Amino acid sequence: MFIVTRGRRSLQVTFFGVRGSTPCPVGPTARYGGNTSCVVIDIEGRRPIVLDLGTGLRTWGETQPLNGSFAATALVSHFHFDHVQGLPFLSAADRVGARLDIYGPGQSGHDVADLCEGFIKPPYFPVALNQLRGKYQTIDVWNDSFQLGAAKVMVRPVPHVGLTVGYRVEADGRSVAYVPDHQAPQGLDSIADSVLELCDGVDLVIHDAQYTPVDWETKSHWGHCTTGYALEVAAQSGAKALALFHHDPSRTDADLDRLAAETRLLGRGRGVEVFAAAEGIRVVPGRSVLGQIGKCVSIGPMFKGR
């Protein structure tokens, strides 16, 4: 399944779920993948940092130790179901001695612990969160900065439907911004200061790009933005590379090929490398992402022939 990069790998970003709204595991979406939001940052010698807990989390969990030595940190952008529905299926965390720390924004008087316990229980799930065998620690964040081992993390509010944050992770001289759901203004003519701060000069920004201009005509209030607006965020903030993310579940592989090509062409004129996130892509920020994707080796069937 995975594409493997070559060279120095002290900080790597791997995409395990790239869709928005709902999983779409059908033929026309198979090449980019149908799982919902889940991206993993690996820093050599440190706990992995998981950006959102969508259905891609289950796939990532299958790569982790099942002997109770599992430990990871999750940074959750918000609690819409497509961003957390993989949590009860993280088999590596359901072991005595395993640990998962979950950071995220509280919602309407409920802290992160309340929110997780609220949907991992009957009748939504067969068992309650406290019946799982691992240790789950929750931490509420909103407008914060803190250290996770060798990584510096910035948290800032992001416009969306409901309380939502984005994250910036810096380590080993490399930086990644994660803004998976972003309600653009109706005129697509301004960018929140908090978003620009998250993305300021980053090596890679992973950004909501769910809609086309045609979609925007009827869905401009649904909490997302266009591919063009995602590029505008990257360009205005001085980001070096942009991963188009949170693809609409109705968007086929052919659609995404076309949108990525169009946005990539525009990005060249703005000094931004652009690619469409796909399950299995792994990149090292700070190097040419297009060069990595083009030269890497596929060890599974999903990306053969790309």
Phi, psi of 236 (to 5 degrees): -65, -30
- Top-level CATH class of 3-298? alpha beta
Handedness of CA 52, 54, 60, 61 (dihedral sign): positive
Q: What Cα–Cα distance (Å) separates residue 217 from each residue in 182, 220, 221, 223, 225?
A: 16, 6, 10, 13, 11
Tell how many helices (H) and how many strands (E) occur in the chain: 7, 16
**pLDDT bracket for residue 292 (50, 70, 90):** confident
Residues with Cβ within 8 Å of 55's Cβ and at least 6 positions away in sequence, in order, are: 17, 23, 35, 36, 38, 82, 85, 86, 89
pLDDT of residue 3: 43
pTM of the model: 0.93
Residue that wins the pLDDT comparison between 290 and 302: 290
Answer yes or no: is pLDDT of 12 > 50. Answer: yes
Mean pLDDT of 59-77: 94
Compute how many other C-beta atoms are within 10 angstroms of the C-beta atom of residue 161: 13
Answer yes or no: is pLDDT of 138 > 90. Answer: yes
Answer yes or no: is pLDDT of 6 > 90. Answer: no
Q: How far apart are CA 101 and CA 120, in angstroms?
A: 16
- Domain locations in the chain as residue ranges: 3-298
Mean pLDDT of 272-277: 96
Mean pLDDT of 147-160: 97
Provide the mean pLDDT of the chain. Answer: 92
Contact status, residue 219 vs residue 260, Cβ threshold 8 Å: no
pLDDT of residue 190: 97
Mean pLDDT of 216-244: 97
Q: How far apart are CA 7 and CA 35, in angstroms?
A: 28
Mean pLDDT of 3-7: 43
Of 65-69, 98-102, 278-282, 293-297, give the lowest mean pLDDT range: 293-297
